[in-house]
Amino acid sequence: MAEPLPDAPAPMPNAAGQQMASFPLGGIDADGRWDFATGNRSVREVIWGLLATRPGERPGQPRFGVGLHGYLHLPNTETTRALIRENITLNIARYEPRIRVNELIVEADAANPAQINIRILYRLLGSDALESLDFALNAR
């Protein structure tokens, strides 16, 4: 296994004990090192990765990923939204141990019946600051 870069932030283990690093990398920093995301930026990148990755897509981690793409052609019903909510909850609990989710809102958009609005309200462990990640999924 390769040695970590000097002065690079140490990746945190996830619930399965695997080391986590945020991807995509931000490029090369001023010192010529990989620019790894840290703090809330890293958490947001991991969550986006979870949402966009289809289960089974990541080698060696068949349960990793929410696979929001799979919900695109389903009707915007309470059942679909409950499935999305459950899948996000399970994946964040399993793969992002650096946060506690305060609230996960998955609801139909009042103005656009085909749109599902998703809001994740969370706190980084050891922080009182409430963070949010908001996005919309345009189903059928």
CATH number at residue 95: 3.10.450.40
Indicate whether 58 belongs to any domain.
yes
**Number of residues that make up the chain:** 140
pTM of the model: 0.76
Q: Is residue 130 part of a domain?
A: yes
Q: Indicate if the pLDDT at residue 32 is higher than 90.
A: no
107 found inside a domain: yes
CA dist., res. 44 & res. 30, Å (int): 23
Asked if residue 46 belongs to a domain, the reply is yes
Residue 81 domain-assigned (yes or no):
yes
C-alpha dihedral (7, 9, 10, 14), degrees to nearest 10: -170
Q: Structural domain tally of the chain? A: 1
- Give domain status of residue 110, yes or no: yes
Name the least confident of 24-33, 50-59, 80-89, 119-128.
24-33
Which residue range forms the structural domain that includes residue 87?
A: 39-138
pLDDT higher than 50, residue 4: no
Using one digit for the tens of pLDDT, what is the confidence trace for 78-126? Answer: 999 999 999 999 999 999 999 999 999 999 999 999 999 999 999 999 9
**pLDDT at residue number 6:** 42
Confidence of residue 139 (pLDDT cuts 50, 70, 90): confident
Least confident range of 7-11, 29-33, 87-91, 109-113: 7-11
Is 17 within a domain? no
Q: Is residue 7 scored above 50 in pLDDT? A: no
Residue 111 lies in a domain: yes
Amino acid found at 116: I
In one letter, which amino acid is 7?
A: D
- Which structure tokens are listed for 121? 């309200």
